Structure formats: C-alpha cells, structure tokens
Amino acid sequence: MNQNRFDKIEKRAVRRKIVSRTVTYFLLTLWALMVLFPFYWMILTSVKSYGSYNAEYIPKFYTPAPTLENYRSAFTAVPLARYFLNTIIFTLATTGLMMIVIIPAAFAFSRLEFRGKNLVFTLFLSLMMIPNELVIITNFQTITNLGMRNTYLGLILPSVTSVFYIYLLKENFEQIPNELYKAAKVDGTSDFKYLLRVMLPISRPTIVTIIILKVIECWNSYVWPRLITDDEMYYLVSNGIQEIRENGFGRENVPAMMAAVVVISLPLIIIFLIFHKKIMAGVSRGGTKG
Amino acid sequence: MKVVLKELTKRFANRTKGQPDVIAVNHFNIELPDGKLIGLLGPSGCGKSTALNLISGLEIPTEGQVFFEEDDVTKLPAEHRGVGLVFQNYALYPHLTVRQNIAFPLGNLKGDQKLPKEEVERRVEEAARLVQIDQLMDRKPSEMSGGQQQRVAIARALVKQPKILLLDEPLSNLDARLRLQTREELRRIQRETGITTVFVTHDQEEAMSISDLIIVMKEGVIQQVDEPQKVYTDPVNLFVAKFLGTPEINVFRGTVRNGQLFLGEESVLDVPGVEDREVYVGIRPEGFILSETGRFTMDLKRVEEMGRDTSVIAAHPAAEKPTVRAIISSENEVDRTKETVKFDIKPFRTYLFDIETEERIPFGG
Amino acid sequence: MKKNNLKAWLYLLPAILFLGAFMVYPLIDVFVYSFEEGYNSAAQTSFGVGAYNYRYVLHDPYFLQAVKNTFILVIITVPLSTGISLLIALGLSSIKPLRNLFQTVYFLPYVTNTLAVGLVFMILFKKTDYTDGMINLLIQTFGGKSVDFIEGPYWAKMFVLSFYTIWIVMPFKILILTSALASVNEEYYKAARVDGTSKSRIFFKITLPMISPMIFYLVITGFIGAFKAYSDAVALFGTNLNAAGMNTIVGYIYDMLYGNSGGYPSYASAAAIILFSIVLTITVINLMISRKSLRS
C-alpha cells in the first residue's frame, strides 16, 4: 500500500527535477544570450559594408558578404592606432609605476617595525573610503596649473595611487611565515634583497592578479583622460571611441564605429580568456568595478 | 523498522580521468533488524558513509535495491523517506537557536500532517529532554560545546519520530572522555526510543561497546555481520581479525604438517583436520600462556608492566612485524635475564587463514 | 631600531608622496573650494567665503535633474541587479554541466570597455531614419509600438540606461553570490533534505540567512556604485548629458569642471561634497539595517 504512494512520489520527483532543470538551463541560456548578443552584434556589424548596413531597414542577423573594409577605415579615417598606442603607454606606465609604489609600502607595513605604523596604516585604510569624485577636482586643477594637460605624465601620475592594492598585497605578504624572514636575516640578507628574492616570488599569484586588475582598470579608464586631454593625439581608447561616436568618420558610419569597438575590446577579452580563472578569483577577493 | 539492502552497489567516476570507477559500495546484501543498534565498522574510505547515504536517500544507488519493511524505496528521494540523520559535523544551522534547530524538521510538515503549535513545542521539549539539553534551548550552536551540539543534532533527528536513525561518525569530533560518556548516552537513547539505529564508525572499540550487531566493511564489501563478541572471537578472515581488537592480533606465517602447526621449526599447536598447507596464523595477545615447558619459543625483547596485566614484547622470525605482543596476567613472573621466552598458545584465540584468500580455515580441537 | 625607523619610512615614501599629492591634499582642498564663493579658475579669483556655492548648486535645475536621474537609476538598478544576480547564482550552483562555461560568459561584461559596448547598446536601441533598430523590431514583432530609446521619451531613456547599468554590474554580483553560495556547507542542505524541507523553505530559512552578509555587501557597494553612475550614461547619450536630460550627479560635477559649461571648480566641489554626503548617509543607513538584521 505504501509502495503505490512511494511510486507516485518517485515519479513526481523525477518529473519535477526534469522541469526545474529545463527551466534553469533555459533561464541561464537566456542570460548568456543577453550577455553575448552585443558582442555578436558588434562583430557582425563591423563586417557589414557601409552600403549594405544602411540599406537594411530590418537589420539582418548575418551578412552574405563580410568585409574588412571597416577595419581599414577605422585605422585610417581616425587615429585609432594612436589611441591604441597612447592607451598601451598609459597602461604600462601606470601599472609599472604603481607596482614600484605599492610593493615597498606593503613590505613596510607587513614586515618592518617602526613607530607610528598602526596609525599610518589606519590612515591609509581610511583613504580607501574616499571616492575618486571628491579628489578629482583638485587633481584637475593641479595638473592644469602644472601645465601637464595633454601629456602622458598628467594622465599617469594621479592614476598611480591605489590604497586597496597596498592592502591586498600587505595581507598576502603577511601570510609568508616570519621564520623565512628571520632565517634570511640570520644569513645576512638585506631587507631589499629579501623582498626581491623571497617575498615577490612567493607572492607572484597575487601580484599577477593585481597587475591584471590594474591593466583592466587602466584600459577602460575614461573620466580622468577625458578631463585632462582635449588634444586627439593624447586620447585613450575610451575617449577615442567617444570622439569617433560624436565626430568621427564625418558621417554616421556605424560599421566603422563597430570595427573600432571590436578592435579596442579585443585585447582585454583575449587577456580575459587566457586568465579568466585568475581574474575571477582576484575580483571575488575584493575587486570592484572602476 | 526493518531495512533490507539487496545487491546494493554504488560506483563513482574516478577523479583521475581514465582510471576505472571507484566502487564505494559493492553488492551489499543484508537485513538490518528492527529496533537494533547497528554499527557499520570499517577503516576510513571503505564506503561506510556512502552506504549510510544510500539508506537515507542522499545518494541513489547504481545497482540494487533498498527496502523499508516490504516497500522498495530505492528511488524515493530523501525528502520522503522519513529517516533521521546525524552528521559528523552535526550540520546545525548556525543562525538558529537550539529550539529553532530542533523544531526545524517539524516545520516541513505540510497539509494534514501539519502539527498545531502546542504539539510542536511539546515534541521539541520531549526530544530535548531525551538528550538532556532542555536547559540550553535559547542558545546558538556556536555557544555550545561539541558534546552539546551533538545532542542537539540527535534531538533534531529524533523530533520527527523517524522509523530509522542514521548517525555518521557521531563521536569522532568529541574528545576521548566525552566520547565514552556520549556512547553510553547513545545506547540509552536508542533503548528508550527503540528506533532502528545505524551508526558509522572507524573505531572498533566504539562499535564493540554499544552495538547489537556489527557490520565490518572493507573497500566497499561486507566482510562479516555478527554480534560484537562473535566478530572478535570468530573472525571470518584475516582482515576482520586484524581490524578488531587492541592491541592488534599477532600475525605469523606458518605451515601445517600432519595436523600440527609449525611456526619456524617448532610445532606450536595441534590443528586436527587441516590438510598440509601454508597458512597465516593469527594469535590474539591474550592467547599466550607463559610456560616453562611451552611449545612456542620466541626471543624476549622487553617486558611492560601495566598493573593488572603484563605485556611481553618478543620477536619471532615467522612474525609479520618485528615485535610480537603477548598479554598475560601480572601474577606470572617473567624471567628477564633469559634471552628467550616460552609460551603455550590457546587454540580458541588462534586462527588460521588461507594464504591466498585470507579466509579463515577452521580446525577442530 | 632608529635605523629601522628611517628605512621603513623610506619604503613608504613613494606611496606617501603619491597619496599626499593626489588624495590627501585634494581632499582638503575640495572643502576649501566648495566654500570659496564664485571662484573662477580662469581668473583665479573669488569674492568671499560661505555657502553660496551650495545654494547655487542646490538651485541649479541641471543639478536637480541630475539628482532625480541618479536616484531613479539607483532605485531601479540596485534591487533588480541584486535580485537577478541572486537568481542566476542559484541557477548556476544547481547545475554541473556547462557551469564553468556559463560563469565565464557571464563575467565577460566586467572586462569590456563601458564606452565601447555602450556604443553597441546605443546602436541596438536607437531609432534612425534608416532603421528602427534591433530592439524596436523585437518590440514590433510582439505587437508593440517602436520608440526611440536614445533620443525619445524620458522613461525610454531611463529604461535603456538602467538596462545597460544592470548589464554592466551583473558580472561582479553573480561572481560574489556564486562564491557565497559555494561556501555554504553542503551538509546543511543534506540535513534539510533528509528532514523533507521544501526548496523554497531551504532557500528562505537556510540559504538566504547564510549568504545575507554577502547580499548586504553587494547592496551597499551597489548603492555606492550606482550613485556614481556616469560613463554608462555618456556611452549611451553622448557627452552633452544636460541636453539629453540624462545627466547624473557625477556628470554634473565633471561638466562644472570642464567642457562647455566648465571652469567652476567651486560648484563642482560643492556638488561633489553633496554627493559624498548622500552616499555616506545611505551607506550608514545600510550598515545599520544590515547590523540589525544580521544580529537577530
């Protein structure tokens, strides 16, 4: 008698499981499509010819005659290569400079004893709460007064500081057992050598994560470059794309715009596809957008 | 409630790709009698917990069937089996108080099974009293000791009046003193409620001390099902003989010739009815009798006095391990000046095993 | 010991220099600016000290529009993005095949350039003389009337801005919630299943309380992030946000600083401090609510 009831329950459970699986996969796929569609659309549009794009009142989901013409005009009609170069210089210099600043600071906080350490560290931490919007005004004035508008230095200097990464790195340094430091001291290793030869190699995963996150941030930065540059020769890709959108190509050349969009999105997407595990782990450890 | 397992098998895909599947539970055939306390015993990784999960419904078997009384529940989801399960780490909800934790299963009842508020409260109180934590009802799990958490977990499993109670390593997270105390408690609760109870353990002493029935497992296969004392005195194979008993049984390689057991060159015991062959010989530490005229000579290494008993540590070339331990009453005097020591061995504490299958070879006498 | 002191400060020096010049000094200076009445960066003069800048900003219709836009955006996007990402994270953690693929795909917007992809969104939603655009065609197939989301009615612009903002912030939230869900011990779910707990009860009584610290964290950071919305709006509506009626508070600050209406760092400072006060107030309220509900 129970058996009958059990059989019914079993069947219902199986049915429910199938239904909920199906619904779950359907919804997950739906969101995946929503994420991917803009990417598909920009690639698709970028290979449509100017003529055929404008002739499509109803946009087509494919194109019979893909063309790379738009990519050529993206590089010739607007100084896209220049934007690219600027961004690479900006990203490399900012990230490099930041590492030079944060590594010794994190080392000092994690390994050295000095008077006022806790106070200074607390002050550092409280700076994490300060929104960029609050300090950007004076920075704009400072850089302008120093005559550093439209220079790499003006772009780079205010973007170097990052309290959060000092904090992240300090936490990581502290996990390295103190015995290693003592052993190195006994062997007569200098602090600087110890930092270079022992701590940095051990902390490599964290350092790589920080570098990747900073590169993403630099590559996508828009606000500061917009404020500090009005000479096209110093535009970064974000500003370049905005410039293209508002004045570029002389006419509404959407396929060429999309080609430019594809080109500037590609580097980060490639980095992401290579390092996606690292990036996601790094971000979930405390990164935020922007 | 009686539980019957028929040809029950669970395979897991191997974590290393390309390797064959892991068989956690291998063709179990067993009947768990109603109202008994059953110990599922085996070394870690032998599939005990998987077996438990198959009964609770948390895992679905690859082959075979599970019956509750006459009903086939093999594919019945855990939600509908009405079993009580206590986890090794207790799995108490950290954000709920003891009272809320215990009441949690009752809140799941729906429709005409739903209990009125007073009844819920009465049952929660009753379960708490049974495990003697009724003074701590408004604490959070984090504010309690391991032993107290354990009791809450048992109360939570009992409150829905399950027909079968399953405990996964219930005592392994407690310290030694608490473990002794709690296992008595477990026995008492099982007696009082009369619920068929299965508990998993790797500690043979624990299983021996409170079970009505012991199931010994090795690598997914049932080795022996018996009363605790029988598993000890009458092991079916070398594994069971080695796994049960502290100190461990002494194992030798020996030969049977003309109804006599030879260890090395000496004939140490008469084993009538056994044909001539190579054998493993297991002798329990208490199976030795100190005797000037003993048939079994070993090299004396040292003597450990342990109050009531005396351990004689000896060595023998036929032994599997470098030392052999014999436990004799401390009333016996061991002559420590001598290089050797002589024993007679008790036939009912001595077991012969096949060299290939490691199965027990019976002998008369 | 003394030598060690000196050395430590030497290691810290670069960080202190940078932070001092570009964070601490500006932080003080922004308050100074905000109280210097009528400061003009071209002339470098001001005509007094007082709350004039705050009064001006609070009466500026552009600022009020920006505040309104920002608040609407916050109220729409924070609950929606948190809710949807929780649903997606729950879905993700309930499946095994394809899980990693989905996770990777969902994270993609995080690494994309807001301005660049915003342009794609604009193309998708925009209605021009040549075409009604992708989204409008979709609306038409379902029998709706097409509308210009980029230069059309206010609600349509707000819709597309909210939509894009959610699209941008989802990766972070999905990631955090998925790892929060993964950190809940499996045994709680097993215990609940054996006790016959329904899916919804497991969710509300076990999952939700256990991941609530992370949800609060997301809500708090979500509020802060949404109040600072700017680039998404620029990406969709162009740099002249005031003309589009879609400016945000941050946009207003930058416009005051630079551009056609720029050159007024005092107004910008006052607006920035107002924004900071709003964010601070809301964060404190959030923290108080989360403390209270986490304790009970």
**Which CATH number characterizes residue C211's domain?**
1.10.3720.10
Q: Which of A129-133, B47-51, C225-229 has the lowest mean pLDDT?
A: A129-133
Residue C103 included in any domain: yes
Res. C136: pLDDT tops 60: yes
Does C132 sit within 8 Å of A135, measured CB to CB? no
Q: What is the mean pLDDT of residues B316-344?
A: 90
In Å, how far are A48, A57, A69, A260, B175 from A51, measured between CA atoms?
8, 12, 11, 18, 80
Residue C6 included in any domain: no
- pLDDT (0 to 100) of residue C50: 77
Structure tokens given for B221: 């296969």
| Fold (CATH) for A70-284 | MetI-like fold (1.10.3720)
User: Which helix (H) or strand (E) is A269 found in, with range?
Assistant: helix A254-284
Residue C218 included in any domain: yes
Best B65, B73, B74 member to test A by mutation, with max A CBs in 10 Å, is: B73
Residues of chain A contacting B, Cβ within 8 Å: 2-3, 6, 9-10, 13-14
Query: Domain map of chain A by residue range?
Result: 1-35, 70-284
Does A3 sit within 8 Å of B72, measured CB to CB? yes
pLDDT digits (tens, 9 = 90+) for C238-253: 888 888 899 999 999 9
Does B89 sit within 8 Å of C191, measured CB to CB? no
Best B104, B158, B166, B167 member to test C by mutation, with max C CBs in 10 Å, is: B104
- Report how far residue B25's alpha carbon sits from residue B217's, in angstroms, rounded to the nearest whole number: 9
Residue of B nearest to A9 (CA): B76
- pLDDT (0 to 100) of residue B288: 94
Q: Which of A225-229, A244-248, C10-14 has the lowest mean pLDDT?
A: A244-248
Q: Which residues of B touch C190 (CB under 8 A)?
A: 58, 78, 85, 87, 91
Q: Are B339 and B300 in contact (CB under 8 A)?
A: yes
Q: Are B341 and B298 in contact (CB under 8 A)?
A: yes
Does C194 sit within 8 Å of B78, measured CB to CB? yes
Q: Are C19 and A120 in contact (CB under 8 A)?
A: no
- pLDDT (0 to 100) of residue C292: 83
Taking 3-state DSSP, the helix, strand and coil percentages for chain A, each rounded to the nearest 5, stand at 80, 0, 20
Cβ neighbors of C154 (< 8 A, separation 6 or more) are: C245
CB-side exposure of B282: number of CA atoms within 13 Å? 30
pLDDT digits (tens, 9 = 90+) for B28-47: 999 999 999 999 999 988 88
Give C292 to chain A, closest Cα distance, Å.
22
Q: Which residues of B touch C193 (CB under 8 A)?
A: 58, 77-79
Confidence band for A252, pLDDT divided at 50, 70 and 90: confident
Residue C247 included in any domain: yes
Does A10 sit within 8 Å of B77, measured CB to CB? yes
What are the helix (H) ranges across chain B?
48-56, 98-103, 117-130, 146-158, 176-193, 204-210, 228-233, 238-243
Cβ neighbors of C85 (< 8 A, separation 6 or more) are: C170, C173, C174, C177, C218
Give the CATH class of B3-240. Answer: alpha beta
Cβ neighbors of C295 (< 8 A, separation 6 or more) are: none
- In this complex, which of C185, C193, C205 lies closest to B58 when CB atoms are compared? C193
Q: What is the mean pLDDT of residues A152-176?
A: 90
Q: Which residues of B touch A13 (CB under 8 A)?
A: 76-77, 79-80
Q: Are C186 and B87 in contact (CB under 8 A)?
A: no
Residue pointed to by tokens 């010049």: C21
Residue C65 included in any domain: no
Confidence band for A250, pLDDT divided at 50, 70 and 90: low
Question: How many domains does chain C contain in total?
Answer: 1
- Edge-to-edge strands of the sheet including B71-72? B22-32, B3-12, B63-68, B71-72
Res. A286: pLDDT tops 80: no
Question: Chains touching chain A at 3 or more Cβ pairs under 8 angstroms?
Answer: B, C
Residue B352: strand pairing partners: B281, B361
Confidence band for C46, pLDDT divided at 50, 70 and 90: low
Residue B303: strand pairing partners: B312
Residue of A nearest to C132 (CA): A57
Res. A38: pLDDT tops 90: yes
Q: Mean pLDDT score of chain C, rounded to an integer?
A: 88
Q: Which of A49-58, A260-269, B255-264 has the lowest mean pLDDT?
A: A49-58
Q: Which residues of B270-283 are buried (b: 16+ CB within 10 A; e: fewer)?
A: ebeebeeeebbbbb
- pLDDT (0 to 100) of residue A289: 40
- Report how far residue B204's alpha carbon sits from residue B39's, in angstroms, rounded to the nearest whole number: 9
Residue of B nearest to C206 (CA): B93
Residue C187 included in any domain: yes
Res. A256: pLDDT tops 60: yes
Q: Which of B177-181, B284-288, C84-88 has the lowest mean pLDDT?
A: B177-181
Residues of chain B contacting A, Cβ within 8 Å: 69-73, 75-77, 79-80
Confidence band for C51, pLDDT divided at 50, 70 and 90: confident
pLDDT digits (tens, 9 = 90+) for B293-315: 889 999 999 999 888 889 999 99
Q: Which residues of C79-111 are buried (b: 16+ CB within 10 A; e: fewer)?
A: ebbbebbbbbbbbbbeeeeeeeebbbbbbbbbb
Question: Chains touching chain B at 3 or more Cβ pairs under 8 angstroms?
Answer: A, C
In Å, how far are A117, C259, C278 from C246, measured between CA atoms?
46, 17, 19
Domain with C148 in it: 77-295
Q: Which of A180-189, B25-34, C171-180 has the lowest mean pLDDT?
A: A180-189
Confidence band for A288, pLDDT divided at 50, 70 and 90: very low
- pLDDT (0 to 100) of residue A243: 86
Query: Domain map of chain B by residue range?
Result: 3-240, 250-361
Q: What is the mean pLDDT of residues B182-189?
A: 89
Q: What is the mean pLDDT of residues C39-48?
A: 64
Res. B117: pLDDT tops 60: yes
Predicted ipTM of the assembly: 0.89
Does C9 sit within 8 Å of A241, measured CB to CB? no
Residue pointed to by tokens 């050159």: C263
Strand pairing report for B266-270 and B277-283: unpaired
Q: What is the mean pLDDT of residues B81-97?
A: 91
Confidence band for C218, pLDDT divided at 50, 70 and 90: very high
Structure tokens given for C201: 């009860």
- Report how far residue A134's alpha carbon sits from residue A132's, in angstroms, rounded to the nearest whole number: 5
- Report how far residue C134's alpha carbon sits from residue A57's, in angstroms, rounded to the nearest whole number: 10
Does C195 sit within 8 Å of B104, measured CB to CB? yes
Q: What is the mean pLDDT of residues C227-242?
A: 90
Q: Mean pLDDT score of chain B, rounded to an integer?
A: 90
Q: Which residues of B touch A2 (CB under 8 A)?
A: 69-71
Res. A290: pLDDT tops 50: no
Res. C3: pLDDT tops 60: no
pLDDT digits (tens, 9 = 90+) for B220-257: 999 999 999 999 999 999 999 999 988 899 999 999 99
- pLDDT (0 to 100) of residue A114: 87
Give C131 to chain B, closest Cα distance, Å.
53
Strand pairing report for B22-32 and B37-41: unpaired
Q: Tell me which residue of A184, A180, A195 sits closest to A99, measured CA to CA.
A: A195
Give C220 to chain B, closest Cα distance, Å.
22
Confidence band for C1, pLDDT divided at 50, 70 and 90: very low
Task: Decide if C185 touches B, using CB distance below 8 A.
Answer: yes
Cβ neighbors of C190 (< 8 A, separation 6 or more) are: B58, B78, B85, B87, B91
Residue C204 included in any domain: yes
Cβ neighbors of C222 (< 8 A, separation 6 or more) are: C77, C78, C81, C82, C169, C173
